Structure 1
Amino acid sequence: MSLRPYRHITRRTSRKIMVGPVAVGGDAPISVQTMTNTLTTDIEGTLDQIRRSAEAGADIVRVSCPDEDSTQALRAIVKGSPVPIVADIHFHYKRAIEAADAGAACLRINPGNIGSAERVREVVKAARDHGCSMRIGVNAGSLDKHLLEKYGEPCPDALVESAMEHARILEDNDFLDFKISVKASDVFMAVAAYRGLAAACDYPLHLGITEAGGLTGGTVKSALGIGTLLWEGIGDTLRVSLSADVVEEVKVGFELLRTLDLRHRGVRIVSCPSCARQGFNVINTVEALEKRLSHVRAPVTVSVLGCVVNGPGEARETMIGITGGGAGNHKVYIGGDPNHNISTQAMIDHIVALVEAKATEIEAAGQGEV
C-alpha cells in the first residue's frame, strides 16, 4: 500500500513498438518528441535543431518530407542525428518508401490518404523491410470527407472512427508496429477523442494538442490537455506543439512528465513567487540556477524559498534547499535537514556546486535519469 495513494497513476496497458532504439508503449518510459521547422533540404540547419532538441531531452524528432529533395536529404540527417527520426509524410506514398529507405525509424502517415491498396502494400513492405514503425496521425482539421458528412463537423467520435479505419488498413496488411494520435486544437475534443481511442484499442498512443499556439498559450493548453490524459494513465509518447523554438517544446514536455512523476530527468526547482519577506532575489536566483544547471541530467530536486515561512517545510521534501535569512545570511539544507549558512554573494555558485556533486553521486549509484 502506497503512503501517498493520491499520487499514484496507473498507466493504460498498451502494446510496445520500437522507434529505432526507443521503445514506445508497454512499460517503456513516456517519450518526448518535437519536430523540426527548418527546410529539410537544409541538412546542417535541420541537424542543428535536432542536436539542440536532443540535448534538451528529446527522445525522438520528427522531420517533414514533402518532396523528393527532402527524402534525399533525410539520409544524411538520419546518419547525423543522435536520436531516431520520424519522417512526416502526407499523401504521397513514394515519399514514405523513400523515407524508409533513407533510414527513418518511423513513418507518420495516414494509410487511407496515400491511394490504392497496392500503394499501401508497397509502403508496408518498405516499412517492414527497413524496420520502420508507423504513426497513424489523425487531425481534426483534415478529417476524411465521409466522416465530416456523417458527423456534420469534427468531433471526438469522428476522430476515433478515422483512427480505427486507418488502423484496420494496416491490420489487413498484417502490420501492427504502429501508434496512433487523434489531435485537435480544441482541448475538450482532443481529450474526449483520446479517451475514446484508449478504450477502443491497445495500440500505443501519441499525445498532442495540435496548433496549440505560442509559448505561453500553447503551454497552458497542452498542460491541460496532455496533462489530463497523462494523469488518467493515457499516453505513451507526446509532442507539445508550440509556435516557438523547438527546444521549448521539449522543455514543456519534460516538465509535464516530471510534474506527474512519470519521468525523472534533470533539476526540478521548487521556488516561491517571492514577496517583501524575501532575504534574496528569488526570481533572479532561480533564473540563474536554471541556466547554469541545464546540463544536469540526473534527477535532483532543489528548493529555493525567500524566507522561513515555507522554506524549511519545502526543504524537507528536496535534496538541496536554500531559505532566505536576515542580513544576507541564508540557510542551506541537505537531505531535508538544515546544514550550514551561506552569504548572498556566494549562494548561487555554492548551490550549483552542491547540485553537480549530488548529480555525480546519483549517477555513480546507477540511479540516473528515467
Structure 2
Amino acid sequence: MSWIERRKTRTVYVGNVPIGSEHPIVVQSMTNTFTEDVETTVAQIKELERVGCEIVRVAVPSVKAAEAIREIKKRISIPLVADVHFDHRLALLSIENGADCVRINPGNIGAEWKVKEVIALAKERGISIRIGVNSGSIPKNILAKYGKPSPEALAETAINYAKFFEDCSFTNIKFSIKGSEVKSTVIANKIFAEKTDYPLHIGITEAGTLLSGAVKSAIGVGILLYEGIGDTIRISLSAHPKEEVRVAYKILSALELRKRGVEVISCPTCGRCSVDVETIAHEVEERLSHIRKPLKVAVMGCAVNGPGEAKFADVGIAGAGDHFILFLKGKVIDKLTQEEALERLVEEVEKLAEEEC
C-alpha cells in the first residue's frame, strides 16, 4: 500500500487513457516541432513513446496545424491533445480531425458562445477538454477582487469555469492551474482540490532549463503529489521533450507512486574514488533507457560504496583500485577491468530485465 493517499477524483478519459485517482498518475509531454511538419512531429512523438510518454500534446496555432492532426493520429500509438489559444475555430477543427482532447483556456478564447461551440462539438464526439488557467488570463472581475493574480484568484477562476461547463451539461473535463512560481501553483491547486473532484494536470510552467527546471518541478510537483494531488503530470523544461518524461518518472519513482525503467544509483565520489563515476553513470543511464522494467543499477566509485551501501541494487559495479567488482543483488560475482565493466553491467541488466518480464 502506498504511503501517499491520493485525493479522490472522478475519471476522465483522453483517448483510451484514464485519468483520475483510481488509475496510475499519467505522464505526458508536448512536442516542440511545428505541428504541420507531420514527418518531424511523428518522429518526435515516437521518440517520446519509447521513453514512456503516455499522452502527447501538440501546439495548434494555425489551420495547417489543426489539419495535420488527422495524419499524425494515424501514425502514433498514444492519445493526442490539441493545444489551442485565442481562436476557438482551431479547437473545432482539431476535434474534427481526430484530437482525443483539446486544451483551451476560456480566458483567452473570448466570448462565452465560442467556448460553448467547443463544448458542443466535444460532447458530440465524446472527447474530453482540459481547461487551463494561468495568471495571464484571469477575468477582470476576479483580478479586481484580489488585486493581483494570486493563488486564490487562480483557484476561483478555475472553479468558476467548472461551474460554467457544468451549466452546459459537460463534466468530461480536467484542469491545469499552473504558474512559474512553486508557491502560487501549489496553493492554487490545493484550494481547487479541496472544492472539486475534477482530475488535475499538474506542473510548474516555464520551469526553466534541464537542471533548474527539474529541481523547481520536483519541488512543486513533489509537494502536490505528496499531498495526494495530481492525476497527470507534465514537467515543462527548456530541453528535448524526452527529458520531461524522464524527469517525470524520476519524481514519481522517488515518491513510490510509479516505477518505470532503470534507476541509476551513483555515488557523489570522494578521495577514495579512482574511476570516472560521472561519465560511466551517464553512459549507463543512456544505454539502459530502453528498459521498462523497474530495476536499480548502481555505479560506485570504490569498494566502500559497492555491495555495502548499494546492497539493495539489482546489479552494479564498484571501482576497486585498477579494477571493478560486479555485484548482483548485493553479492560480488566477478572482478573486471575498467574496459570490461560497462559492457558487462549493461549485459547483466538486460539479462535481468528479460528474466523478470
The normalised TM-score by structure 1 is 0.92
The Cα RMSD (Å) is: 1.7
- How many residues end up aligned between the 2 structures? 357
Q: 2:167, 2:111 → 1: CA distance?
A: 14
1:352 aligns with 2:354: no
1:67 aligns with 2:62: yes
1:312 aligns with 2:307: yes
Cα displacement (A) at 1:117: 4.5
Match of 1:86 in 2: 81
Q: 1:78, 1:150 → 2: CA distance?
A: 43
234, 242, 263: which one aligns with 1:239 = 234
Q: Please tell me whether the aligned partners of residues 84 and 90 of structure 2 are also in contact (alpha carbons under 8 angstroms).
A: yes
Match of 1:28 in 2: 23
Cα displacement (A) at 1:116: 4.5
Q: 1:189, 1:138 → 2: CA distance?
A: 12
1:37 aligns with 2:32: yes
Q: 2:299, 2:71 → 1: CA distance?
A: 44
Q: Please tell me whether the aligned partners of residues 85 and 104 of structure 1 are also in contact (alpha carbons under 8 angstroms).
A: yes
Match of 2:173 in 1: 178
Q: 1:154, 1:311 → 2: CA distance?
A: 51
Match of 2:329 in 1: 335
Q: 1:164, 1:143 → 2: CA distance?
A: 12
Q: Please tell me whether the aligned partners of residues 302 and 318 of structure 1 are also in contact (alpha carbons under 8 angstroms).
A: yes
Q: Give the aligned residue type for 1:346.
A: E
List gaps (5 residues or longer) in structure 1.
364-370
Cα displacement (A) at 1:129: 2.2
Which digits, 9 at most, give the CA deviation of each residue in 1:307-344, with x for residues without a partner? 1323223332111122222331x322212233332222
Which digits, 9 at most, give the CA deviation of each residue in 1:143-169, with x for residues without a partner? 222221111111110010000111111
Moved over 3 A (4+): 111-121
Q: Give the aligned residue type for 2:286.
A: K
Q: Please tell me whether the aligned partners of residues 185 and 210 of structure 1 are also in contact (alpha carbons under 8 angstroms).
A: yes
Q: Please tell me whether the aligned partners of residues 24 and 204 of structure 1 are also in contact (alpha carbons under 8 angstroms).
A: yes
Cα displacement (A) at 1:237: 0.6
Q: 2:46, 2:294 → 1: CA distance?
A: 21
Q: 1:189, 1:99 → 2: CA distance?
A: 32
Cα displacement (A) at 1:124: 1.8
Q: Please tell me whether the aligned partners of residues 235 and 244 of structure 2 are also in contact (alpha carbons under 8 angstroms).
A: yes
46, 57, 72: which one aligns with 1:51 = 46
SS of equivalent residue, structure 1 residue 234:
coil
Q: Please tell me whether the aligned partners of residues 34 and 60 of structure 1 are also in contact (alpha carbons under 8 angstroms).
A: yes
Q: Please tell me whether the aligned partners of residues 6 and 21 of structure 2 are also in contact (alpha carbons under 8 angstroms).
A: no
Cα displacement (A) at 1:299: 0.9
Match of 1:108 in 2: 103
The within-5 A match list for 1:131-280 is 131-280=126-275
Q: 2:279, 2:211 → 1: CA distance?
A: 20
Q: 2:335, 2:4 → 1: CA distance?
A: 38
Residues 28-37 or 180-189, more deviating: 28-37
Match of 1:366 in 2: none
Match of 1:368 in 2: none
- Percent pairwise identity: 46
Q: 1:109, 1:235 → 2: CA distance?
A: 19
List gaps (5 residues or longer) in structure 2.
none
